[in-house]
Structure formats: C-alpha cells, structure tokens
C-alpha cells in the first residue's frame, strides 16, 4: 500500500511540475496535456476544459464532468462494480445513437482513465463544418470518481487521427483524481 501511495504522490508531483497542466479543485482532477495544445473557453457548462491542437491538425479534446449525487456515498468497491456494469459498449451506443450522422463504433475496449477503470470507444462519424461534410474520428472514455461521471473526448478529421489518439492516450495516462 505504501508503494502505491508513493507512486501516486510521485505522479502528482510530476504533474504539478509540468508546464501544460489542467487542474480543477472542485471536481478534484488534474492531468497533463501535450505540448502545442492550448486551453480554450468551454462551450458547455458540463465541460471542464476544451483543448485545441496548435499543430494544424484540427484536433480537439475536452473533459466533461457531471455531478451525480447518488455516487457521493458509494464505496470504491461499489464504484468499481458500477464502472464494470455501466461502461459497456451498449452504454456508448445508447449515449451516441442519433447524435451524429453515419455514426460507426469502430472498436470498444476496457481501459483506464487515470487510475480508474473505464470503457473506451473509437467512433467515426460525419460532422458538418461550413456546409461541408467532414469525416471525424473520435476517442471517448468514461469513468466515475469523486461523485462525478468524467468523460474524456478527443477528435480530429480522419486525416489527422494520430493527433487525437496521441492526445487521448497522453491525457488519460496522466490523469489524477484526488479526494
């Protein structure tokens, strides 16, 4: 147990020392994001941060958080059971069905966001930008922590998918939930 605590403290220290760090005290979350990405003002009230790639790839990432009062009093074991049952492919299909034209779930897998078990999907869909149809690849992962549901979403036009995928993996691997 001490080793795990030491590793978490070391990770938190590394995150705190990085230049590109997002931290939100209310939701008790912090993470690093890639160089050549910048924060922008979120468009939705549930979005904690909106990030844009400054490399011309047109990739974006956001972290959204929804406070769920019924999660507040659950133990970590109960939350793990909820994560396992609620982050199934069907959950993403239900959330995303009808949201985007020509939506295809390319793959689904179990992974982690920070130190929390998560369901993760890679989807492809069309988006209309200035009356032009653009094919988008999107990576989305969802987990529960601190009485909230967190969703990390990174996307880019299909020709720039590597920028979105690298940012998604970088952010989810450096995310730290504090209590």
Q: Where are the domains of the chain?
A: 2-177
Over residues 90-115, mean pLDDT: 84
Which of 42, 9, 37, 6 shows the shortest CA–CA distance to 24? Answer: 42
Q: List helix spans (H) across the chain.
A: 2-17, 76-86, 89-96, 161-174
Say whether pLDDT at 119 is over 50.
yes
Q: How far apart are CA 169 and CA 151, in angstroms?
A: 13
Over residues 5-24, mean pLDDT: 60
* Amino acid 174: pLDDT: 95
* Amino acid 4: pLDDT: 45
Pick the residue with more confidence: 19 or 103? 103
* Amino acid 62: pLDDT: 95
Who contacts 123 (Cβ-Cβ below 8 Å, separation ≥6)? 92, 96, 100, 103, 104, 105, 106, 137, 138, 140
Give pLDDT tens digits for 130-178. Answer: 888 889 999 999 998 888 889 999 999 999 999 999 999 999 999 998 8
Over residues 85-102, mean pLDDT: 77
* pTM confidence score: 0.83
Who contacts 148 (Cβ-Cβ below 8 Å, separation ≥6)? 27, 65, 66, 67, 68, 71
Quick one: pLDDT band at residue 9, thresholds 50, 70, 90? very low
Quick one: pLDDT band at residue 2, thresholds 50, 70, 90? low
* Amino acid 179: pLDDT: 66
CATH class of the structural domain 2-177: alpha beta
* Amino acid 1: pLDDT: 53
Give pLDDT tens digits for 27-81. Answer: 999 999 999 999 998 888 889 999 999 999 999 999 999 888 777 778 878 887 8
Which of 91, 87, 37, 89 shows the shortest CA–CA distance to 61? Answer: 37
Report the DSSP beta bridge partners of residue 163. Answer: none
């Amino acid at each position: 147990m001490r080793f795990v605590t030491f590793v978490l403290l070391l990770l938190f220290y590394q995150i705190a020392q990085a230049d590109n760090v997002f931290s939100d005290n209310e939701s008790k979350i912090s993470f690093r994001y890639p160089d050549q990405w910048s924060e922008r003002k979120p468009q939705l009230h549930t979005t904690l941060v909106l990030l844009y790639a400054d490399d011309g790839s047109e990739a974006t990432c956001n972290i959204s958080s929804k406070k769920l009062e019924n999660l507040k009093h659950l133990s970590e074991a109960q939350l793990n059971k909820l994560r396992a049952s609620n982050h199934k492919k069907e959950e993403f299909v239900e959330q995303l069905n009808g949201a985007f034209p020509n939506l295809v779930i390319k793959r689904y897998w179990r992974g982690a966001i920070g130190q929390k078990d998560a369901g993760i999907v890679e989807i492809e869909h069309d988006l209309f930008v200035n009356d032009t149809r653009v094919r988008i690849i999107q990576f989305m992962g969802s987990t529960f922590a601190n009485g909230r549901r967190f969703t990390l979403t990174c996307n880019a036009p299909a020709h720039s998918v590597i920028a979105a995928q690298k940012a998604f993996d970088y952010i989810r691997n450096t995310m730290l939930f504090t209590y």
